[in-house]
């Protein structure tokens, strides 16, 4: 790609022009998607089930 200020050819993923120092304004990568809330809720459900099972097994062994 070319620098918008000095027209020097620069790398596609460059953040600034190496010749004039101007910041590139062209987005070369899409932003990373935020993790969904349902994935986090699913993990908490698994943790809760494991805690309940471990507690039940501990009571059964102790009793």
Q: Is 2 helix (H, G, I), strand (E, B) or coil?
A: strand
**pTM for the whole thing?**
0.38
DSSP 8-state class, residue 21: -
Average pLDDT for residues 28-43, to the nearest whole number? 69
The answer to whether 16 touches 2, Cβ cutoff 8 Å, is no
More confident call, 61 vs 63? 61
HSE-CB at 6 with a 13 A cutoff on CA atoms is 11
In the predicted model, what is the mean pLDDT of residues 23-38? 69
Say yes or no to pLDDT of 37 above 70.
no
Q: Provide the pLDDT for residue 4.
A: 86
**Rounded Cα distance, 30 and 13, in Å:** 12
The b-or-e profile of 27-46 (16+ CB within 10 A means b, else e) is eeeeeeeeeeeeeeeeeeee
């Amino acid at each position: 790609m070319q620098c918008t200020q000095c027209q020097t050819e620069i790398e596609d993923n460059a953040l600034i022009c190496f010749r004039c120092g101007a910041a590139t304004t062209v987005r070369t990568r899409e932003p990373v998607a935020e993790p969904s809330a349902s994935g986090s809720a699913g993990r908490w459900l698994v943790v809760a089930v494991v805690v309940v099972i471990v507690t039940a097994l501990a009571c059964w062994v102790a009793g």
